[in-house]
Chains A and B, each alone.
Chain A
């Protein structure tokens, strides 16, 4: 580069600015082109269409559980017994890893609705059938890495960081719910 005069410096500043602008336009353009490609990997419309499920609860007797599918995930619905409800309500939330009261986790105390996926690494806990192990707290037990959930689906022991998730749902009548 030759020695710089004042004029030259002005020219150089302008050139820097132009180059910077051009670079910025290039970057924005590249990003704008990349986004549709990345976004195409997000859930497609047909997948999203399956995002709500309606369930009739009449056949589920007290003490029984059913599993329904919602967004490709199992949802546990347990018709809890009085003892199970009491057991869940007696717990002092200060002792819990993920502090939630049972009241916060149900719409109606006798119906517990949970996403049946362990919050550790996504396995399906067992305990839906009376014959399956339910862990030390009478709820569910994850066979993958040994997480124990209580009768409110809260994590009590083992590696999982959070309680079993409660999916968004509402009672459409006394005996049916809509998940999602």
Chain B
């Protein structure tokens, strides 16, 4: 990887290793002197924070796996044993449980930052796509992890989500049976989910490596959205950003610790403290909070789509919901080609900024819709109407507003350089 001329290190041990395997040279190049735009704001901390959360989840997860039993008869009890009898087990489990939420918080903010400052635009398209892949893998991992305690919400969440695949025409039922390894969510399902839940974080780690690699090829975007031109525009990564990231990370950890120690179950659902029972459905099945906006989109399609004035259905309501939900993530992958405006940063695109902030509001609102029972109302109207409107805006933002703005938004004048944008 790092080849070519190499500077000598003073420390003889370091030099001995580096002359044979230049890891220190590599680290110094990528994290020491790496030229980084000097105008980052605190939004740029969240990549490092997400990385920290991934490591936290892997470490706490490996320890938990040493005490956990993936069997429908014992899973719930083994988790309770961790909570009661394993030394400090409650702390490790609460770190892991809340860690999932805080990993998602970090990643959501990280993605928002990418959208706000146009970090997905040429030449960083692949960098962005790798990020969406990480997000997808995280969702799969989190979903399977939530099944492992084998509480009521674990079981019914797994049942509802795996049943989504039965919406696929012709082979849907077969695929669901294959996923379950039986005729319902049961022991084989729990076993394979555990195996995959243990495996996938390492896959995520590998994709994160590619993500960072791609980042270091193009260099970071920055709040001004213009490329660094001279040395005046950049700073070495260390110590400027290592120290700034550490400070930001600590602030984040304080909030995280507040939840772990003072509201460990706030982000979870009480039903998951009742062991799974295939014969009793909870009154109201909700996924974890980070899935709620997507869950709202899944439920927004309550009608069949067919050829008008005939009885022919092309897409059933169920398939429509599933397609809408997965489509919402597919749109993220396509984002670099939907928004082709030459200006990156929303700072210099007031219209884009307004629509994007509205998008965030709608996304949060969809989360609220997803958290409510299916028959809930808001004022005189059923909430599902708002779910549909929110979904329409989500899709409209990507498919109509962004392409339209790309052609028609004039935008403000860009500063001549990063250095100038900081001064002025």
Flag if B156 contacts A73 (CB, 8 Å): no
Question: What is the bound-complex CA distance between A67 and B192, given in angstroms?
Answer: 29
Flag if A42 contacts B281 (CB, 8 Å): no
Question: Which residues of B from 150 to 165 have beta carbons under 8 Å from A?
Answer: 156, 159-160, 163-164
Flag if A121 contacts B164 (CB, 8 Å): yes
Fill in one digit per residue for A141-165: 1 if any B CB lies within 8 Å of its CB, else 0: 0111110000000000011010000
Q: Let me know if A43 is at the binding interface, CB within 8 A.
A: yes
Fill in one digit per residue for B186-200: 1 if any A CB lies within 8 Å of its CB, else 0: 101000100000000
| Chain B residue, CB-CB nearest to A39 | B178
Other-chain contact of B281, A43, A144, A158 (Cβ < 8 Å): A144
Question: What is the bound-complex CA distance between A153 and B317, given in angstroms?
Answer: 19
CB distance from B169 to the nearest CB of A (A): 12
CB distance from B183 to the nearest CB of A (A): 4
Flag if A43 contacts B285 (CB, 8 Å): no
Question: What is the bound-complex CA distance between A121 and B159, given in angstroms?
Answer: 7
Q: Let me know if A14 is at the binding interface, CB within 8 A.
A: no
Assess A42 versus B283: contact at CB under 8 Å? Given A159-B302, A161-B317: no
Other-chain contact of B160, A38, A43, A123 (Cβ < 8 Å): A123
Flag if A72 contacts B178 (CB, 8 Å): no
CB distance from A164 to the nearest CB of B (A): 14
Question: What is the bound-complex CA distance between A142 and B285, given in angstroms?
Answer: 11
Q: Let me know if B7 is at the binding interface, CB within 8 A.
A: no
Question: What is the bound-complex CA distance between A122 and B180, given in angstroms?
Answer: 13
In the complex, which residues of chain B have a beta carbon less than 8 angstroms from the beta carbon of A142? 281
In the complex, which residues of chain B have a beta carbon less than 8 angstroms from the beta carbon of A38? 178
Q: Classify chain B's interface size.
A: 20 to 34
Q: Let me know if A15 is at the binding interface, CB within 8 A.
A: no
Assess A73 versus B183: contact at CB under 8 Å? Given A44-B188, A121-B159, A144-B374: yes
In the complex, which residues of chain B have a beta carbon less than 8 angstroms from the beta carbon of A158? 374
Question: Which residues of B from 207 to 239 have beta carbons under 8 Å from A?
Answer: none
Flag if A41 contacts B181 (CB, 8 Å): yes
Other-chain contact of B284, A43, A47, A126, A144 (Cβ < 8 Å): A144
In the complex, which residues of chain B have a beta carbon less than 8 angstroms from the beta carbon of A122? 159-160, 163
| Chain B residue, CB-CB nearest to A73 | B184
Fill in one digit per residue for B66-105: 1 if any A CB lies within 8 Å of its CB, else 0: 0000000000000000000000000000000000000000
In the complex, which residues of chain B have a beta carbon less than 8 angstroms from the beta carbon of A73? 183-184, 278
Q: Let me know if A85 is at the binding interface, CB within 8 A.
A: no
Flag if A43 contacts B182 (CB, 8 Å): yes
Fill in one digit per residue for A105-126: 1 if any B CB lies within 8 Å of its CB, else 0: 0000000000000001111101
Flag if B188 contacts A47 (CB, 8 Å): yes
In the complex, which residues of chain B have a beta carbon less than 8 angstroms from the beta carbon of A120? 318
Question: What is the bound-complex CA distance between A13 and B122, given in angstroms?
Answer: 41
Flag if A41 contacts B192 (CB, 8 Å): yes
Q: What are 6 residue pairs bridging A and B, where the CB atoms are less than 8 Å apart in the complex? A: A38-B178, A73-B184, A122-B160, A122-B163, A123-B159, A144-B281
